[in-house]
């Protein structure tokens, strides 16, 4: 399901997350309508009139038990409903086994992406890095190891519905599977200093062929992996 | 007691059956507990919540001297109890004697701690010396600050005792300050155990 | 001194008050004067926080455009009227800090706890009037230190009102070396002030209630302020401890929160939110209590389910201690802990729902008088409901993953703190102004102020939900940096214009407040026909409050009793004798 008020959903769990949001919206929307309409009705119906006196009512135990129980039940339901999705997204033990490892390092005010190279392994000779550009293949699982060099940043890809803080001194795992090709944006979502607003990276979701071509250009002998640290590179890729 | 410091009203509704100053002190001490919980809790998280090894305290700190200092502080708590008993029994000589003893005990504690700090800083052990330095100085420093406040208020009580302000079984002020003093003492026993001995 | 002696001495004070001016109005130990001092101080900081918000909104609505009076802005903040990024981060930090610690909290706790507790429980003053005076006078240096941040080298603190370490713990990261230190110092002084206040409020409520004022005859405002005082007593020292460690990290180069030296950045968040969530309730519980009083009075009906209202206050306060992790779902905290915090957080919906439905139950079959205080009380219920419901989205961990750190959060917090707390505060000011100053505020201006504020407020903050769902991050200086945010820019512009309107809507209040202070109609002893003990003392009450200690015969919500002609019955008047049974 796609809703106009959300940006595109482009990850495996994006739609489920939107649906959860909409479910909560329906529940809270119903409560909202009951309360606000009820309030308005009362304000009109029981407005001050001369000669009339308010009824002396101190409470009603049955009514109070009802409106204590219903929210409790609804909230337990929402909790139970949310938990599986949450643990599937965030539990490090449940990251898909075939996920390609990515090393993401945040620092004031840029992102560095470490790619595993054609062998799919981090820490080998064919690794290469890219600044402020995340290139991934559609329908492929990715496992991100997030680190921060200085302060806390937050890895936020709105179209993937993924957000995870990067904390200095910690290595935090996150994963995603893009489901839609195209160019998207990655933002820093945690205040990290005066350049927080421009700590932006671009996300490229490729077809496998496109990605292979791009990767070849990255590891070609004329452009050694470590050379890509200049600021302007982001604009010309693709 | 001057009227501005505490109010009481006639036939007030039954509270907890504790007079106002004492209740105020208890409430204040609840807040103090939370303050030290923040400091000590952080220490526990930093020390035992990470894999890194912690320096052996005895290699940096002088345990025997501090143990003696702890003993002095505990003694001052005992003398505080004696002062309170004297106040209740309207024993003015005893009150003055035991209050003075307590003030001296507290002041000695602060003095020894100051000496310890000077010695440690001279050895190059600073608040910036790793997590051990950070937590050691913050916790013992704030405890020392509390003892200093206690000594000052106790000295004030002593002064008042010499002016006969606690005559006639007027023990409320003494009991209230005593509560604070025992609390500070208790915190030190915890700190000494987890910072020096463990 | 005997208790009778003290009481007699008080009566004497009440009869001929010969304190010099400075003891009476400046270094006063009278809880009423202290409450009024807090009122002026915190309204001033509300204005400061509001002005900062206007600058923020200017930058977000019209990024990079020069503000009005371009030459008047210091070049270190906004050269030629264009806000600098470093100034922007300082603005969001200081706006939050001023509003939370120097406006809303002192308005609720400093003003209403001080003014209302002794009056409503029938006491001559607080338990420790001199400490009470200190509680106010410590707020002056605290506020001055905070304001000073803007004028030191490097500017004011700019690591957010939450001061997340390590951004806050090492001045290299923000450049605000002295600003961050001043921020810590100011809040430590603030914590001391809060401590003295809390000790006073708790002791006073426990020990100084007038005869007959049993626990379950206390007005809900007093219950809420009492529970709030307990929360503040226990939560604020945690903040103080955290601030001290942070300050030491900055000044003494300790390593509490700096990972390079082995410290743990997340520990700051745990400490901050362990304080911070109870703090959220410190900011809303008194508003709930005040709104309860206003709604019962405006509906001319007993509060619906008084006992469950009290239990709900206690329940919210208790739950407040076990939910802090919901601010940290995406922080790298263990996701299983996240689940635990989700469940505990969801349960807050239960007492909150009880309160909302009981307020509605209070209005049901009432005789609702649309006075300005009542209008604000109704708005409190309507807006708090929205703020409470939007909170459920964040409680659900997966939904939070998307909306965390977006404008959705900003919308939520403003629905609770502005729509909730501030409407109750306005209502409370309109309601108790006659008692405080002996003058009535203009109802006409009050209603104009209410209507304008209500509309402009909703136009400002409701669209922020939609921004948040669109993915708009918080605390960003220039949203136009992001392609996906550009389509949302017209909405940002609209919000900014509404925010300016909201600011202007406060002018009738300011005018009304000061005009009524001097030229308002003289207030009767009980202009709202309320039952609280404060309405049995003169307007304004003398030093010592009551000529004789009142005796309390019943609860505070005896409105529209069927066995009485008059539709209210002050707490110091006995219930009518039961009529002989007819049949
Ligand atoms: Cu950032
Ligand atoms: Cu919270």
pLDDT digits (tens, 9 = 90+) for C489-501: 999 999 999 999 9
In this prediction, residue B167 carries a pLDDT of: 87
Q: Which position has the token pair 């993937």?
A: A160
Q: Do C342 and A192 lie within an 8 Å CB cutoff? A: no
Compute the mean pLDDT over every residue in chain C, rounded to the nearest whole number.
Answer: 93
Band of residue B5 on the pLDDT scale cut at 50, 70, 90: very low
pLDDT surpasses 80 at C5 = no
How many distinct structural domains can be found in chain B?
A: 1
Which chain A residues contact residue C360 at CB under 8 A?
A: 35, 38-39, 42
Helix (H) or strand (E) holding C399, with range, is helix C397-403
Q: Is C9 on the interface with A (CB under 8 A)?
A: no
CB A175 within 8 A of CB A99: yes
Which chain C residues contact residue A54 at CB under 8 A?
A: 299-301, 365-367, 559-560, 567
In this prediction, residue C16 carries a pLDDT of: 56
Domain that holds residue B94: 20-196
Comparing CA positions, the residue from C504, C486, C477 lying closest to residue C60 is C477
Kind of pairing between the strands at A100-107 and A142-148: parallel
Cβ neighbours of A95 (radius 10 Å): 20
Whether the link from the prior residue into C425 is cis, omega within 30° of 0, is no
pLDDT surpasses 90 at A224 = no
Kind of pairing between the strands at A110-115 and A128-131: antiparallel
Q: Which ligand is nearest to the CA of A106?
A: 1
Band of residue A2 on the pLDDT scale cut at 50, 70, 90: low
Question: C323 C-alpha to center of ligand 2: Å?
Answer: 6
Chain A nearest-CA distance from C255, in A, is 13
Give C 508-567 residues with CB within 8 A of chain A: 559-562, 567
The distance in angstroms from the start CA to the end CA of chain C is 56
Kind of pairing between the strands at A128-131 and A172-176: unpaired
Helix (H) or strand (E) holding A204, with range, is strand A200-206
Cβ neighbours of C504 (radius 10 Å): 12
Q: Do A48 and C370 lie within an 8 Å CB cutoff? A: yes
Band of residue B150 on the pLDDT scale cut at 50, 70, 90: very high
Answer yes or no: is B9 within a domain. no
Chain C nearest-CA distance from A227, in A, is 26
Q: Do C401 and A71 lie within an 8 Å CB cutoff? A: no
Band of residue C12 on the pLDDT scale cut at 50, 70, 90: very low
| Helix %, strand %, coil % of chain B (to 5) | 75, 0, 25
Distance CA B17, CA A234 (A): 73
Answer yes or no: is B29 within a domain. yes
pLDDT digits (tens, 9 = 90+) for C340-387: 999 999 999 999 999 999 999 999 999 999 999 999 999 999 999 999
pLDDT surpasses 90 at C71 = no
Chain A nearest-CA distance from C359, in A, is 9
Q: Do C360 and A68 lie within an 8 Å CB cutoff? A: no
pLDDT surpasses 90 at B16 = no
pLDDT digits (tens, 9 = 90+) for A62-76: 999 998 999 889 988
pLDDT surpasses 80 at C6 = no
The distance in angstroms from the start CA to the end CA of chain B is 45
Please give all residues whose CB falls under 5 A of ion ligand 1, grouped by chain where several chains appear: A 153, 188, 192, 196, 199
Question: B52 C-alpha to center of ligand 1: Å?
Answer: 29
Q: Which of B38, B45, B134 sits opposite C255 (nearest CB)?
A: B134
Answer yes or no: is B12 within a domain. no
- Which whole number is the average pLDDT over B109-116? 96
In this prediction, residue A237 carries a pLDDT of: 34
Question: C411 C-alpha to center of ligand 2: Å?
Answer: 15
Q: Which position has the token pair 């209502």?
A: C427
Band of residue C17 on the pLDDT scale cut at 50, 70, 90: low
Q: Which ligand is nearest to the CA of C173?
A: 1
In this prediction, residue A221 carries a pLDDT of: 58
In this prediction, residue B49 carries a pLDDT of: 83
Helix (H, G, I), strand (E, B) or coil at A167: coil
The angle subtended at Cα B171 by Cα B166 and Cα B177, nearest 5°, is 105
Answer yes or no: is B8 within a domain. no
- Which whole number is the average pLDDT over A164-192? 96
In this prediction, residue C1 carries a pLDDT of: 36
Beta strands in A108-199 (DSSP E): 110-115, 128-131, 133-137, 142-148, 153-157, 162-166, 172-176, 182-188
Q: Among B6-15, B73-82, C328-337, where is mean pLDDT lowest? A: B6-15
Q: Do B137 and C254 lie within an 8 Å CB cutoff? A: yes
Q: Which of C123, C207, C262 sits opposite B52 (nearest CB)?
A: C262
- Which whole number is the average pLDDT over A208-231? 70
Answer yes or no: is B28 within a domain. yes
Q: Do A194 and C301 lie within an 8 Å CB cutoff? A: no
Helix (H, G, I), strand (E, B) or coil at A23: helix
In this prediction, residue C578 carries a pLDDT of: 78
pLDDT digits (tens, 9 = 90+) for C505-540: 999 999 999 999 999 999 999 999 999 999 999 999
Q: Do B24 and C242 lie within an 8 Å CB cutoff? A: no
The angle subtended at Cα C464 by Cα C460 and Cα C470, nearest 5°, is 150
Which chain B residues contact residue C128 at CB under 8 A?
A: 5-6, 20, 24
Which chain A residues contact residue C479 at CB under 8 A?
A: 197
Distance CA C271, CA C265 (A): 10
Cβ neighbours of B197 (radius 10 Å): 12
| Helix %, strand %, coil % of chain A (to 5) | 40, 25, 35
Most confident of B13-17, B58-62, B183-187, C69-73: B183-187
Kind of pairing between the strands at A100-107 and A110-115: antiparallel
| Helix %, strand %, coil % of chain C (to 5) | 70, 0, 30
pLDDT digits (tens, 9 = 90+) for C87-102: 999 999 999 999 999 9
Chain C nearest-CA distance from B21, in A, is 8
Compute the mean pLDDT over every residue in chain A, rounded to the nearest whole number.
Answer: 89
pLDDT surpasses 80 at A230 = no
In this prediction, residue C18 carries a pLDDT of: 72
Q: Do A158 and C474 lie within an 8 Å CB cutoff? A: no
Band of residue C582 on the pLDDT scale cut at 50, 70, 90: low
Cβ neighbours of residue A142 under 8 Å, at least 6 residues apart? A99, A100, A101, A102, A136, A175, A176, A177, A178
Supply the pTM of this predicted model: 0.93
pLDDT surpasses 50 at C575 = yes
CATH 2.60.40.420 corresponds to the domain A100-219: yes
Which chain C residues contact residue A32 at CB under 8 A?
A: 385-386, 389
Answer yes or no: is B10 within a domain. no
Task: State the angle between helix axes of A61-90 and C335-347 in degrees (0 to 180), rounded to the nearest 10.
Answer: 170
pLDDT surpasses 90 at B23 = yes
Which chain A residues contact residue C175 at CB under 8 A?
A: 194
Number of residues that this document lists for chain A = 238
Which chain C residues contact residue B39 at CB under 8 A?
A: 241, 244-245
In this prediction, residue A228 carries a pLDDT of: 45
Cβ neighbours of residue C577 under 8 Å, at least 6 residues apart? none
For B137, B162, C194, the CA distances from B150, given in Å and listed in that order, are: 19, 18, 21
Domains of chain C as residue ranges with CATH: 8-567 (1.20.210.10)
Helix (H, G, I), strand (E, B) or coil at A143: strand
In this prediction, residue B6 carries a pLDDT of: 42
CB C113 within 8 A of CB C3: no
Q: Which position has the token pair 């190059």?
A: B124
Q: Is A37 on the interface with C (CB under 8 A)?
A: no
Provide the CATH number for the domain around residue B187: 1.20.120.80
Band of residue B53 on the pLDDT scale cut at 50, 70, 90: confident
Q: Is A77 on the interface with C (CB under 8 A)?
A: no
Q: Which of C85, C365, C369 sits opposite A197 (nearest CB)?
A: C85
CB C496 within 8 A of CB C64: no
Phi, psi angles (nearest 5°) of residue A208: -55, -40
pLDDT surpasses 70 at B170 = yes
Answer yes or no: is B11 within a domain. no
Q: Which position has the token pair 């505070």?
A: C556
Distance CA C277, CA C269 (A): 11
Which chain C residues contact residue B4 at CB under 8 A?
A: 29, 129-130
Cβ neighbours of residue C104 under 8 Å, at least 6 residues apart? C42, C46, C283, C417, C421, C422, C425
Burial B33-48 (b: 16+ CB within 10 A, else e): ebbbbbbbbbbebbbe
Q: Do C203 and B1 lie within an 8 Å CB cutoff? A: no
Cβ neighbours of B123 (radius 10 Å): 10
Distance CA C294, CA C375 (A): 9
Question: Would you state the structure tokens that stand for residue C432, as one six-digit string?
Answer: 């108790």
Cβ neighbours of C225 (radius 10 Å): 26
Distance CA A111, CA A193 (A): 14
**Nearest-by-CA chain C residue for A146:** C332
In this prediction, residue B100 carries a pLDDT of: 95
Distance CA B117, CA A237 (A): 60
Band of residue C580 on the pLDDT scale cut at 50, 70, 90: low
Q: Which of C9, C207, C210 sits opposite B23 (nearest CB)?
A: C207
Give A 217-236 residues with CB within 8 A of chain C: none
- In this complex, which chains have at least 3 CB pairs below 8 Å with chain A? C
In sign, the C-alpha dihedral spanning A97, A99, A105, A106 is negative
Band of residue B75 on the pLDDT scale cut at 50, 70, 90: very high
Helix (H, G, I), strand (E, B) or coil at C553: coil
Which chain A residues contact residue C564 at CB under 8 A?
A: none
Cβ neighbours of residue C305 under 8 Å, at least 6 residues apart? A58, A59, A60, A64, C354, C358, C361
CB C225 within 8 A of CB C201: yes
């Amino acid at each position: 399901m796609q809703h106009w008020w959300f940006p595109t959903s482009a990850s495996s769990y994006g739609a489920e997350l939107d649906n959860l949001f909409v479910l909560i919206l329906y529940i809270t929307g119903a409560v909202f309508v009951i309360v606000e309409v009820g309030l308005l009705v009362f304000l009109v119906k029981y407005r001050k009139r001369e000669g009339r006196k308010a009824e002396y009512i101190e409470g009603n135990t049955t009514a109070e038990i009802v409106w204590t129980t219903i929210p409790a039940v609804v909230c337990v339901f929402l909790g139970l409903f949310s938990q599986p999705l949450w643990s599937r997204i965030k539990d490090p033990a449940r990251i898909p086994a075939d996920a390609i490892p990515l090393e993401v390092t945040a620092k004031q005010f840029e992102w560095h992406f470490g790619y595993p190279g054609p062998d799919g392994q981090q820490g080998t000779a064919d690794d290469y890095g890219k600044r402020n550009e995340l290139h991934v293949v559609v329908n492929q699982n990715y496992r991100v190891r997030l680190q921060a060099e200085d302060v806390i940043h937050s890895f936020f890809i709105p179209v993937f519905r993924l957000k995870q803080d990067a904390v200095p001194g910690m290595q935090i795992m996150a994963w995603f599977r893009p489901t839609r090709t195209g160019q998207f944006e990655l933002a820093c979502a945690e205040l990290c200093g005066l350049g927080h607003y421009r700590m932006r990276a671009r996300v490229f979701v490729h077809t496998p062929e496109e990605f292979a071509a791009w990767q070849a250009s990255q590891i070609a002998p004329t452009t050694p992996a470590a050379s890509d640290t200049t600021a302007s590179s982001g604009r010309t890729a693709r | 007691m001057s009227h501005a410091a505490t109010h009481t009203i006639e036939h007030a509704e039954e509270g907890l059956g504790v007079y106002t100053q004492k209740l105020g002190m208890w409430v204040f001490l609840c807040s103090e507990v939370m303050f030290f919980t923040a400091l000590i809790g952080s220490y526990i998280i930093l020390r035992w919540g990470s894999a890194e090894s912690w320096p052996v305290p005895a290699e940096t700190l002088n345990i025997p001297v501090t143990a003696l200092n702890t003993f002095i502080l505990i003694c001052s708590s005992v003398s505080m109890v004696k002062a309170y008993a004297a106040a209740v029994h309207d024993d003015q000589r005893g009150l003055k004697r035991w209050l003075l003893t307590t003030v001296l005990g507290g002041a000695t504690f602060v003095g020894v701690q100051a000496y310890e700090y000077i010695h440690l800083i001279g050895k190059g052990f600073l608040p910036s010396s790793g997590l051990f330095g950070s937590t050691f100085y913050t916790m013992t420093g704030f405890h020392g600050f509390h003892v200093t406040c206690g000594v000052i208020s106790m000295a004030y009580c002593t002064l008042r005792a010499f002016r006969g302000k606690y005559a006639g079984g007027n023990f409320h002020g003494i009991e209230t300050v005593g509560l604070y003093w025992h609390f500070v003492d208790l915190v030190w026993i915890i700190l000494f155990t987890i910072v020096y001995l463990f | 001194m005997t208790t009778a002696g003290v009481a007699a001495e008080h009566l004497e004070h009440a009869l001929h008050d010969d304190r010099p001016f400075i003891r009476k109005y400046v270094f006063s130990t009278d809880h009423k004067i202290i409450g009024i001092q807090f009122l002026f101080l915190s309204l001033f900081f509300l204005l400061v926080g509001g002005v900062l918000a206007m600058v923020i909104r200017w930058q977000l609505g019209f990024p990079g455009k020069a503000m009005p009076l371009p030459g008047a802005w210091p070049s270190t903040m906004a050269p030629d009227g264009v806000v600098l990024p470093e100034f922007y981060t300082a603005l969001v930090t200081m706006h939050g800090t001023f509003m939370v610690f120097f406006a809303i909290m002192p308005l609720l706790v400093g003003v209403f706890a001080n003014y209302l507790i002794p009056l409503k429980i029938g006491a001559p003053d607080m338990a420790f009037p001199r400490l009470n005076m200190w509680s106010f006078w410590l707020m002056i240096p605290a506020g001055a230190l905070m304001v000073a941040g803007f004028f030191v080298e490097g500017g004011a603190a700019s690591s957010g009102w939450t001061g997340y370490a390590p951004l806050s713990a090492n001045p290299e990261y923000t450049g605000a070396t002295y600003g961050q230190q001043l921020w810590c110092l100011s809040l430590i002084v603030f914590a001391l002030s809060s401590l003295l206040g809390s000790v006073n409020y708790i002791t006073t409520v426990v020990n100084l209630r007038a005869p007959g004022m049993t626990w379950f005859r206390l007005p809900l405002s007093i219950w809420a302020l009492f529970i709030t005082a307990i929360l503040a007593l226990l939560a604020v020292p945690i903040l103080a401890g955290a601030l001290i460690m942070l300050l030491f990290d900055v000044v003494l180069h300790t390593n509490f929160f700096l990972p390079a030296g082995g410290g743990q950045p997340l520990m700051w968040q745990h400490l901050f939110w362990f304080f911070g969530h109870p703090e959220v309730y410190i900011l809303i519980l008194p508003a709930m209590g005040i709104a309860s009083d206003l709604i019962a009075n405006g509906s001319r009906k007993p509060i619906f389910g008084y006992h469950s209202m009290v239990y709900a206050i206690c329940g919210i306060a208790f739950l407040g201690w076990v939910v802090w992790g919901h601010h940290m779902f995406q922080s790298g905290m263990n996701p299983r802990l996240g689940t635990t915090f989700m469940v505990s957080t969801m349960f807050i919906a239960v007492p909150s729902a009880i309160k909302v439905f009981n307020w509605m139950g209070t209005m049901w079959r009432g005789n609702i008088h649309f006075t300005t205080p009542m209008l604000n009380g109704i708005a409190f219920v309507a807006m708090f409901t929205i703020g409470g419901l939007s909170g459920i989205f964040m409680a659900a961990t997966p939904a939070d993953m998307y909306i965390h750190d977006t404008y959705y959060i900003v919308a939520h917090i403003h629905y609770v703190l502005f729509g909730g707390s501030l409407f109750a505060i306005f209502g409370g000011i309109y309601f108790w102004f006659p008692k405080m100053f002996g003058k009535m505020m203009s109802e006409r201006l009050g209603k104009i102020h209410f209507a304008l504020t209500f509309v402009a407020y909703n136009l400002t903050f409701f669209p922020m939900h939609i921004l948040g769902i669109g993915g708009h991050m918080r605390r960003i200086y220039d949203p136009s940096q992001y392609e996906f945010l550009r389509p949302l820019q017209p909405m940002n512009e609209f919000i900014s214009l509404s925010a300016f309107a909201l600011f202007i809507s406060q002018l009738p209040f300011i005018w009304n407040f000061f005009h009524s202070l001097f030229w308002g109609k003289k207030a009767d002893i009980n202009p709202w026909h309320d039952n609280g003990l404060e309405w049995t003392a003169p307007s304004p009450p003398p030093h010592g409050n009551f000529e004789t200690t009142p005796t309390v015969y019943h609860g505070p919500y005896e409105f529209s009793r069927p066995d009485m002609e008059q539709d209210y019955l002050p707490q110091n008047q006995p219930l009518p004798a039961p009529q002989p049974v007819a049949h």
